[in-house]
């Protein structure tokens, strides 16, 4: 199931990048946006789609996929049992949650300071409340990335 999810996310970035050069999927708009719009190197009119030929994109994608598959297969087959045993026995789940929260708050602070930390915590609390009341995380993901357009419609 996880490989299907990862393949879906990768295709959500690669298909708009190769075919059009515009971020059209939620993944391309969100986490993959640096491939489309990362000034001063990339912008919407001059991104990887425009700088590489189709064969260069295919070769780079295949090389990256092959390296990732070899590395992941080696780690998964050789060390999966030891890694799981170590994590389940010695690492409390609170430590992993704290690590993730620290990473999120650090990135929020680096992006816009204390105001952004408040915004991230507010979005997290509202998302948790909505999920507890039955709203799917996928729906909230789509709403989050369409929020600028929604605010533009309601604001005008």
Beta-carbon contacts of 47 under 8 Å, excluding residues fewer than 6 positions away, are 17, 21, 35, 36, 37
Helices vs. strands in the chain: H and E counts, helices first:
7, 0
Residue 102 lies in a domain: yes
Distances (CA, A) of 137 to 17, 71, 100, 132, 140: 25, 30, 18, 10, 5
CA distances in angstroms from 76 to 83, 90, 93, listed in the order given: 9, 20, 21
Per the prediction, the chain carries an average pLDDT of 85
Domain of residue 127 covers 92-156
In a domain, 125, yes or no: yes
Write out the two tokens for 94.
Answer: 């609170």
Residues 6+ away with beta carbon under 8 Å from 105 = 117, 120
29 assigned to some structural domain:
no
Note the pLDDT tens digit of each residue in 73-99. 888 888 888 888 888 898 888 988 998
The answer to the question of residue 19 being in a domain is no
The two three-digit tokens of residue 118, written as one number: 């408040």
Number of domains in the chain: 1
- For residue 156, being part of any structural domain is answered with yes
72 domain-assigned: no
Judge whether 49 lies within some domain.
no
Between 126 and 47, name the one with better pLDDT.
Answer: 126
Q: Does residue 55 fall inside a structural domain?
A: no
Least confident of 42-51, 68-77, 92-101: 42-51
Compute the Cα dihedral for 123, 125, 129, 131 and give only its sign. positive
- How far is the C-alpha of 150 from the C-alpha of 147, rounded, in Å? 5
| Predicted local confidence at residue 2, as pLDDT | 67
Q: Alpha-carbon dihedral of residues 105, 111, 114, 120, nearest 10 degrees? A: -50
């Amino acid at each position: 199931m996880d490989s299907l999810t990862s393949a879906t996310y990768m295709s959500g970035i690669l298909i708009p990048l190769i075919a059009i050069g515009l971020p059209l999927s939620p993944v391309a708009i969100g986490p993959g946006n640096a491939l489309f719009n990362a000034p001063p190197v990339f912008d919407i009119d001059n991104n990887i789609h425009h700088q590489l030929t189709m064969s260069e994109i295919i070769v780079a994608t295949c090389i990256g996929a092959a390296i990732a598959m070899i590395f992941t297969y080696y780690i998964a087959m050789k060390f999966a049992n030891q890694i799981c045993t170590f994590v389940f026995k010695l690492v409390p789940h609170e430590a992993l949650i704290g690590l993730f929260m620290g990473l999120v708050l650090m990135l929020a602070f680096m992006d816009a300071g204390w105001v952004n930390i408040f915004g991230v915590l507010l979005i997290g609390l509202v998302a948790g409340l909505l999920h507890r009341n039955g709203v799917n995380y996928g729906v909230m993901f789509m709403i989050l990335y369409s929020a600028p357009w929604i605010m533009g419609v309601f604001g005008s």
